[in-house]
Amino acid sequence: MKKYLIALSLLFVSFIAGAQINGTVHVSDDIELIRLSANAYVHISHSEIPGYGRVASNGLIFINKGNAFLFDTPANDALTETLILYIENKLKANVVGFVPNHWHSDCMGGLAYIQKRQIKAYANFLTIEQAKIHSLPVPDEAFSDSLHLSLGGKDILLYYPGPAHSTDNIVVWIPSEKMLFAGCMLKSMDSGNLGNTADGDLQEYPETIKRLKARFPQAEIVIPGHGAYGGPDLITHTLELTGNLK
């Protein structure tokens, strides 16, 4: 009987621990988190985007040994402040770096607050060029093809596969989590088109996605800029939407 109770208790603890992964945490009326692994969360922020109304946008938080990297901010400084204070006060992590996927507001609309907090921002040099053109806050450090970062000994790869949703869009690969944050260049499975491509390159779009698919065949968790995350099927789906599967 005693062994049975111990086994039941362990099963219950295991169930509770498992439930913490993929659970949704409501930070505020406009921000929620979904825990993807012991070290990573999708942050989903809701904001008014001119021409589109209220839009939910995805970003990523990666935490290791008490420090965190933030990939994409919510669309404005106020929401970004709410998110970062939650990371610090509730997740007990110090945000030490920031990376935008591209120059649009749903990726770096909170960069002014990031800079106010003296958090270092890394970006594609093309993103920095666009920030200057559009009189936006400018990230600190530029890279061209790729950049390797480290968070407490865990690798982070920033990679530019080419133009797609925008001419400057990058992806983030975290090998320890087998996680690919691709932002708006990838579409969720319920998307029926490529969405906003006004600042992108439709001719190069399929070639960029092919390079992405070839570069990260081991990706298990794939996160788009909007909509539900999934697996590598998001890459194939996006390629289908470009009309080019060859």
Distance, in Å, from the CA atom of 238 to the CA atom of 186, rounded to the nearest integer, reads 6
Residue 104 annotated in active site: yes
| Residue of 102, 124, 169, 237 marked active site | 102
Structure-token pair, residue 204: 């190069």
Nearest in space to 60 (alpha carbons), one of 172, 186, 157, 169:
172
Q: Give phi and psi for 35, each to the nearest 5.
A: -80, 120
User: Is residue 154 annotated as a catalytic residue, yes or no?
Assistant: no
Residue tagged active-site, from 196, 199, 201, 213 = 196
Backbone phi and psi for residue 154, each to the nearest 5 degrees, phi listed first = -100, 135
**What does the alpha-carbon distance between residue 181 and residue 41 come to, in Å, rounded to a whole number?**
11
Q: Are 167 and 204 in contact (CB under 8 A)?
A: no
Close Cβ partners of 185 (under 8 Å, ≥ 6 residues apart): 161, 164, 165, 166, 169, 171, 205, 208, 209, 212, 225, 238
User: Is-catalytic flag, 165?
Assistant: yes
Smallest Cα–Cα separation from 243: which of 221, 220, 199, 210? 210
- Selecting among 43, 104, 210, 237, the annotated active-site residue is 104
* Catalytic pick among 165, 169, 210, 237: 165
Q: Which of 72, 77, 106, 168 is catalytic?
A: 106
- Verify whether residue 184 is a known catalytic residue: yes
Of 58, 76, 101, 187, the active-site residue reads: 187
Compute how many other C-beta atoms are within 10 angstroms of the C-beta atom of residue 236.
14
Catalytic status, residue 134: no
Our answer to whether residue 124 is catalytic in this structure is no
Q: Which residues are catalytic?
A: 102, 104, 106, 165, 184, 187, 196, 226
